[in-house]
Amino acid sequence: MDYFTSDLHFGSVDVAQLSNRPFDSILDMNECIIRNWNERVKPDDKVYIIGDFMNRAETNPEHYLSQLPGRKHLIIGNHDHGWTQRIDVDEWFEAVEYMTEILSGGHLITLCHYPLMEWHGGRHGAFLIHGHLHDRRDAPFWPLLQRYKTALNAGVDINGFAPVTFGELVENNRRWKQMD
């Protein structure tokens, strides 16, 4: 099974507050994300983390990574540069890239932390799975991005703070894009 997630921001008090995440503390947020991950992901499942795994956390990255099963793939986000330099990423991830294309469930998918306006095959039904927006819809480009049915936000803020399947991602984004 393939799962998708982004913008977990383990350890980030700033992001928890800015995104109005519904947790009493950063510890509650971290524990919820880990619990939700472990309820879904099995050791042989692939998990595509589409950026911003952690941010300004005092805890070592291995603390979180060791609790999360699955064959992890990291797409670098704007908050992944510091912590990835402190560990052997090859020990924890099958791949670490800035952007990549995959085939999943018969779908051609571009994975990039940032929302794009064009991607390979986008005009012909190929998908983009991105992060970076959290649950924000206030960017100047939002009206355009909202029209793209094949651009999907993998942010935990709109996906139940859990990795989700492609089908769940499509449904969660449909609901999120209609919330205006």
pLDDT in tens, 145-156: 888 999 999 999
Q: Convert the pLDDT of each residue in 53-95 to its tens digit.
A: 998 777 899 999 999 999 999 999 999 999 999 999 999 999 9
**pLDDT computed for residue 146 by the predictor:** 87
Distance CA 180, CA 177 (A): 8
Q: Convert the pLDDT of each residue in 10-34 to its tens digit.
A: 998 888 778 889 999 999 999 999 9
177 close to 146: Cβ distance less than 8 angstroms: yes
Domain that holds residue 124: 2-177
**pLDDT computed for residue 16 by the predictor:** 79
Residue 180 has pLDDT above 70, yes or no: no
CATH code for the domain of 18 = 3.60.21.10
174 close to 158: Cβ distance less than 8 angstroms: no
Number of structural domains, the chain? 1
